[in-house]
């Protein structure tokens, strides 16, 4: 063992009572030196050696020494293959799920269509009166390949109490610039002059948060009239309101996360701070302007008539104030300049993506059939796993213990992950196993994927034995929550069914800060599932007095408030994704997360202080 420690090699203990023959050949410590070592094992131990090989490979795969090399195809000796076949008795459930999925997906596509639509007069004002490019065309010019662009939370802003704010008035997403994954935050001035609504602030803060967690260089395309004044009380004063955007810019700078801004329209009031605080900023002549108060306010305050260009145009800021670093004569030139600036970030290269992997043996298209319409329609989660993982292979951890939670290791497009998936109630045993497994992944620095589908109804307690069981369960869940909160590994959460009540905290829900959180369109997010069992649940409670019609109204309200779309409109997640695209999305997140490993820069005390 000490040899292993000194050589920084992984080692495996072998129980000599369980494996006497193995022990004769190897002594009780087996150095896990990839597959050639296991060849000395006897044929009769094929089963065990397969397991050891899988584990050895898993440990070596994640060892820091090997992360920059391209992975080998796992071949036939990797993790065991899952049986993902559907049995005749499951057909009815599958059909019910599929009908529900198709309805949810159609609704999702309709909503997307709505939030992408803009009024014609807003487009004309933007493109013809103000001579500006539309925000998606701007992104196209900045990115290496806009097909790669991974848009976050497009439904944010839909049907809020203060109206529908399309795309929350600001596009955010991750795309490649000069081969590097970067966060892009771009105001859309066709939505009320790009002004900041409360949801715009929230979306921008979430994008910065993702950039911080994953150390993503960030590009801001600023075109905004500042705060949407009628809602100033919900944008300005509080900790996570507008000022937090600028606070984050400073923190990101001190963490050496490169940031660059383009002033590609009016940057009024608060919007002017962003280009003034990032590492480098670019302004477009006759299009970009920056000031704390525009010409109408100057007129009102001083009686002086002054033009936008004189007050804070490109010439003023590049020649007089020195507030920007580059001036360009066209938008195209400005986005080319962003790419030139990105070439100077000097923060390490994106790891190559020459990874070989096997596709799942079962089509990811079939995930639609497995997305549960409700908890009763949940099938064994391993059917889902067999359609997500490379070669449908999965190394299950503690398969016989706490079976309502499935844990284990797998690869998604060549990326090793630890999996924690709901497969029933999060019992005492399941929670203990969950803590154990998360802790293991954390020690080995393996990203964790949570597949969340929690029980819709709080457990009832009618006997002492049940009370004791619940007490044990709560303690174990609290332990799992603490382990997840403190696990210093990237986490991705995918809500595949219900995200209900306390169990969802222990499965890395939003408040547990996963690097990314997505929902399937069928997902429900609420304290309890208000569909049929809800009324029974409340009626059973003697202390709860509410007349039938009030109860019905409450049920209706909660039903509406628990859809995936309601959640996504409020940014409780990073977007709704289609079940059949999950493998792609998870792989992309893992590639983005991995970029940080190749970065050489360390934190410094001070942000970049511009002149």
Q: Which residues bind ligand COA (CB under 6 A)?
A: 125, 130, 192-193, 195, 225-229, 266, 268-269, 294
Report, in Å, the least distance between residue 92 CB and ligand COA.
51
Q: Are 18 and 52 in contact (CB under 8 A)?
A: no
> Is 132 buried (19+), middle (13-18) or exposed (0-12) by CB count in 10 A?
buried
Residue with Cβ nearer ligand COA (196 or 500): 196
Report, in Å, the least distance between residue 229 CB and ligand COA.
4
Report, in Å, the least distance between residue 8 CB and ligand COA.
56
Structure tokens at 314: 């490109």
Nearest-CB residue for ligand COA: 225
Residue with Cβ nearer ligand COA (292 or 479): 292
Residue with Cβ nearer ligand COA (226 or 418): 226
The helix/strand/coil state of 12 is strand
Residue with Cβ nearer ligand COA (166 or 195): 195
Contacts of 318 (CB under 8 A, 6+ apart): 283, 324, 326, 327
Q: Kindly state the DSSP code that residue 458 receives in the 8-state scheme.
A: P
Residue with Cβ nearer ligand COA (229 or 467): 229
Report, in Å, the least distance between residue 178 CB and ligand COA.
31
For residues 404 and 142, what is the distance between their CA atoms, to the nearest angstrom? 46
Residue with Cβ nearer ligand COA (136 or 339): 136
Report, in Å, the least distance between residue 196 CB and ligand COA.
8
For residues 522 and 577, what is the distance between their CA atoms, to the nearest angstrom? 10
Cα→Cα distances 6→61, 221, 239, Å: 20, 51, 48
Beta bridge partners of 328: 284
For residues 58 and 409, what is the distance between their CA atoms, to the nearest angstrom? 8
Report, in Å, the least distance between residue 188 CB and ligand COA.
12
**Backbone phi, psi, residue 455, to 5°:** -70, 135
Residue with Cβ nearer ligand COA (95 or 119): 119
Instruction: Tell me the pairing of strands 280-284 and 326-328.
Output: parallel
Q: Are 330 and 286 in contact (CB under 8 A)?
A: no
For residues 273 and 279, what is the distance between their CA atoms, to the nearest angstrom? 12
Report, in Å, the least distance between residue 268 CB and ligand COA.
4
Report, in Å, the least distance between residue 266 CB and ligand COA.
4
For residues 217 and 189, what is the distance between their CA atoms, to the nearest angstrom? 23
Residue with Cβ nearer ligand COA (54 or 270): 270
């Amino acid at each position: 063992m000490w040899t292993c420690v000194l050589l920084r090699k992984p080692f495996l203990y072998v129980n000599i009572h369980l494996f006497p023959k193995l022990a004769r050949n190897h002594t009780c410590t087996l150095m896990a030196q990839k597959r050639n070592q296991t060849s000395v094992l006897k044929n009769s131990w094929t089963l065990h050696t397969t397991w050891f090989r899988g584990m050895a490979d898993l440990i070596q795969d994640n060892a820091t020494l090997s992360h920059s090399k391209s992975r080998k195809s796992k071949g036939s000796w990797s993790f065991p293959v899952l049986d993902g076949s559907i049995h005749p008795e499951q057909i009815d459930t599958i059909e019910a799920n599929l009908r529900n999925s198709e309805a949810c997906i159609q609704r999702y596509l309709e909503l997307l269509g709505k939030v992408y639509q803009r009024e014609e007069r807003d487009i004309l004002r933007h493109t013809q009166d103000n001579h500006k490019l539309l925000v998606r065309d701007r992104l196209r010019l900045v990115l290496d390949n806009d097909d790669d662009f991974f848009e976050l939370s497009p439904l944010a802003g839909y049907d809020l109490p203060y109206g529908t704010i399309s795309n929350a008035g600001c596009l955010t997403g991750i795309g490649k610039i000069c081969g590097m994954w970067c966060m892009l935050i771009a105001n859309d001035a066709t939505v009320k002059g790009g002004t900041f609504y409360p949801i715009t602030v929230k979306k921008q803060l979430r994008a910065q948060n993702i950039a911080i967690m994953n150390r993503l260089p960030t590009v801001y395309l600023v075109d905004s009239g500042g705060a949407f004044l009628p809602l100033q009380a919900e944008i300005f004063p509080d900790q996570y309101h507008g000022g937090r955007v600028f606070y984050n810019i400073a923190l990101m700078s001190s963490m050496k996360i490169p940031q660059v801004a383009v002033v590609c329209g009016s940057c009024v009031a608060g919007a002017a701070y962003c280009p003034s605080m990032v590492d480098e900023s670019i302004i477009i002549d006759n299009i970009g302007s920056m000031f704390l108060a525009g010409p109408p306010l100057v007129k009102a305050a001083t009686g002086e008539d002054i033009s936008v260009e004189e007050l804070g145009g490109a010439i003023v800021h590049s020649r007089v104030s020195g507030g920007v670093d580059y001036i360009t004569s066209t938008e195209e030139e400005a986005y080319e300049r962003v790419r030139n600036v990105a070439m100077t970030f000097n923060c390490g290269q994106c790891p190559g993506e020459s990874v070989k992997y096997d596709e799942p043996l079962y089509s990811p298209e079939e995930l639609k059939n497995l997305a549960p319409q409700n908890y009763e329609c949940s099938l064994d989660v391993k059917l889902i796993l067999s359609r997500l993982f490379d070669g449908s292979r999965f190394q299950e951890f503690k398969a016989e213990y706490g079976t309502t939670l499935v844990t284990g290791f797998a690869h998604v497009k060549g990326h090793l992950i630890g999996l924690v998936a709901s497969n029933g109630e999060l019992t005492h045993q399941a929670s203990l196993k969950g803590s154990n497994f998360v802790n293991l992944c954390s020690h080995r620095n393996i990203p964790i994927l949570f597949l969340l589908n929690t029980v819709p109804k709080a457990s009832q307690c009618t006997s002492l034995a049940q009370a004791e069981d619940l007490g044990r369960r709560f303690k174990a869940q609290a332990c799992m929550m603490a382990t997840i909160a403190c696990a210093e590994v990237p986490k991705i959460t995918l809500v595949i069914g219900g995200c209900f009540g306390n169990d969802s905290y222990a499965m890395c829900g939003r408040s547990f800060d996963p690097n990314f959180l997505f929902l399937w369109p069928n997902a429900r997010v609420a304290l309890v599932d208000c569909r049929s069992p809800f009324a029974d649940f409340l009626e059973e409670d003697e202390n709860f007095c509410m007349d039938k019609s009030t109860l019905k109204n409450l049920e209706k309200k909660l039903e509406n408030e628990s859809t995936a779309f309601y959640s996504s409109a409020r940014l409780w997640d990073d977007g709704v994704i289609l079940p059949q695209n999950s493998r792609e999305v998870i792989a992309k997140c893992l590639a983005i997360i991995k970029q940080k490993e190749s970065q050489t820069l360390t934190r410094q005390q001070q942000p970049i202080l511009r002149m």
